[in-house]
């Protein structure tokens, strides 16, 4: 994994790790977001808004999630599959 990917993964885990699990649907994650729906995750030259997670990467998410690790793992798969990282 690249440094950028590792940094993004760490940021996602930090934020989504604050949520109450299990999580049955994306709206249950909103209270964990520091800026609500305006939250943006950034690492290096990569920037992903939380709204993009629900639109561009929704196909990679498989709710419910028991842990933040599971959720972030699926998001990272989506990022790689969609070419977010070199």
Arch. (CATH architecture) of 3-81: Orthogonal Bundle (1.10)
Q: Which two tokens stand for residue 68?
A: 């933040």
pLDDT-based confidence at 85, cuts 50/70/90?
A: confident
Query: What are the angstrom distances between the C-alpha of 79 and each of 21, 22, 31, 85?
Result: 23, 23, 23, 7
Listed by start position, the domains of the chain span: 3-81
pLDDT-based confidence at 71, cuts 50/70/90?
A: very high
The answer on pLDDT for 82 being more than 90 is yes
Q: What is the pLDDT of residue 86?
A: 62
- Biggest CA-to-CA distance, the chain: 33
pLDDT-based confidence at 50, cuts 50/70/90?
A: very high
Beta strands in the chain (DSSP E): 40-43, 46-49
What is the average per-residue pLDDT within 21-32? 96
């Amino acid at each position: 994994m690249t440094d950028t990917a590792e940094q993004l993964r760490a940021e996602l885990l930090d934020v989504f790790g604050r949520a109450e699990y299990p999580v049955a649907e994306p709206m249950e994650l909103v209270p964990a977001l520091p800026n609500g729906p305006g939250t943006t995750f950034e690492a290096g030259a990569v920037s992903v808004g939380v709204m993009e997670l629900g639109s561009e990467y929704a196909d990679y998410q498989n709710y419910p999630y028991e842990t933040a690790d599971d959720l972030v793992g699926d998001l990272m798969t989506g990022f790689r599959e969609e070419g977010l990282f070199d």
